[in-house]
């Protein structure tokens, strides 16, 4: 029987058909000496089905902290003792953040709020914010505002929000160990409505929440079923005061195996490095990931933790001869 990487070469690289759950699990279980070959294949798949461009995105938090939900990894939940207070950003600060993001060459600017779902006040802020950004900055606007109603989905489409982020976070079978205030299925419902509306779907999650390798593979397969335009892959950065504050970080080699496996499950998606990569992988790992299937990065700071400086990422892309995706080609 051929090795999983030989089978993946024939199926994923040649045909563009992602690995199923069993195949992903085999990749996640590869011994260390096969990891370079897995990353190399994932990189070939990304180059073949996505091309050399890297999408650069900035994110800003419109409303930080004080969330009523209990996602056990999240320092923005108001239910834990984590030191993130509820803070709202004003519109001029939002426009300035969009301007700074565009100045790095980023094409995407994602407005995020720590909420279960938007209320009237948040929708009003968003309306104002999106209009102000569109008037002054040339960048595509995405949003991440939690669970949506159909009316809210329609309103986002009308505003010109082109992509919506809502993470499934982890495998369906593990989700109840991570969140108890809402269900995985409720998240799936929002994602389905977003997809049907024509907005691009951005949906990923966090690895290292205590899920098994089987559940990691299950999660990759569930994302494969959803087929999001973009998948942000986070690694747990354990935040003090959260129920997962004492969890160990994902080992660099396991993180890289996961990156390769997710790319082989999702050959055409934008696979984005999101939070936690600095502590899991460090600078060298960032390079390894970009040569192992990743084709998008978030520049600058994350919502509650400090990221690498934007310039370090842009220099790395230039070293790797990976062009930053241009705005004109995405409109
Ligand atoms: S992950 Fe989102 S929904 Fe969950 S607690 Fe944090 S901000 Fe709230």
pLDDT at 182: 96
Q: Residue 290's pLDDT band (boundaries 50, 70, 90)? A: confident
pLDDT score for 306: 42
Ligand 1 atom 7, closest CA: 114
Q: Give 3-state DSSP helix, strand, coil % of the chain, rounded to 5.
A: 45, 15, 40
pLDDT of residue 331: 40
Identify the weakest region by mean pLDDT among 60-69, 141-150, 158-167. Answer: 60-69
Gap from CA of 72 to ligand 1 centroid (Å):
9
Q: How far apart are CA 213 and CA 116, in angstroms?
A: 29
Instruction: Out of 146, 148, 176, 302, give the residue to mutate to test ligand 1, the one with the largest number of ligand atoms within 8 Å of its CB.
Output: 146
Closest CA to ligand 1's atom 4: 71
pTM (2 decimals)? Answer: 0.92
**Distance between CA atoms of residues 234 and 54, nearest Å:** 17
278, 270, 297: which is closest to 235 by C-alpha? 278
Burial of 227 (C-beta count, 10 Å sphere; 0-12/13-18/19+) = middle
The Å distance, Cα 117 to ligand 1 centre, comes to 10
Contacts for 18 with CB less than 8 Å, ≥ 6 apart = 12, 224, 264, 265, 266, 267
Residue 152: pLDDT over 50:
yes
């Amino acid at each position: 029987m051929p090795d999983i990487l030989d089978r993946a070469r024939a199926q994923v690289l040649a045909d563009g058909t992602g690995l199923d759950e069993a195949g992903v699990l085999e990749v996640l279980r590869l011994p260390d000496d096969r990891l370079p070959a897995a990353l190399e294949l994932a990189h070939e798949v990304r180059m073949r089905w996505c091309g050399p461009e890297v999408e650069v995105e900035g994110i800003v938090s419109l409303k930080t902290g004080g969330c009523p939900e209990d996602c056990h990894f999240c320092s923005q939940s108001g239910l834990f003792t984590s030191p993130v207070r509820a803070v709202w950003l004003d519109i001029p600060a939002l426009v300035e953040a969009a301007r700074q993001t565009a100045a790095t060459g980023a094409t995407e600017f994602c407005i995020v709020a720590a909420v279960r779902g938007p209320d009237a006040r948040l929708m009003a802020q968003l309306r104002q914010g999106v209009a102000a950004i569109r008037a002054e900055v040339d960048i595509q606007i995405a949003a991440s505002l939690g669970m949506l109603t159909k009316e809210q989905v329609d309103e986002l489409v009308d505003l010109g929000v082109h992509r919506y982020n809502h993470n499934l976070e982890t495998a369906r079978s593990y989700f109840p160990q991570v969140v108890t205030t809402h269900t995985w299925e409720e998240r799936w419902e929002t994602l389905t409505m977003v997809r049907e509306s024509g907005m691009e779907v951005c949906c990923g999650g966090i690895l290292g929440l205590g899920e098994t390798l089987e559940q990691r593979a299950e999660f990759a397969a569930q994302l494969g079923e959803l087929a999001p335009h973009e998948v942000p892959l986070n690694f747990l950065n354990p935040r003090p005061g959260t129920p997962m504050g004492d969890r160990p970080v994902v080992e660099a080699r396991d993180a890289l195996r996961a990156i390769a496996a997710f790319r082989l499950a999702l050959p055409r998606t934008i696979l984005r490095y999101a939070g936690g990569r600095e502590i899991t992988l460090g600078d060298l790992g960032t390079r390894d990931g970009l040569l192992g299937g990743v084709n998008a990065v978030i520049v600058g700071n994350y919502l509650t933790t400090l990221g690498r400086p934007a310039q370090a990422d842009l220099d790395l892309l230039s070293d790797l001869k990976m062009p930053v995706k241009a705005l004109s080609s995405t409109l």
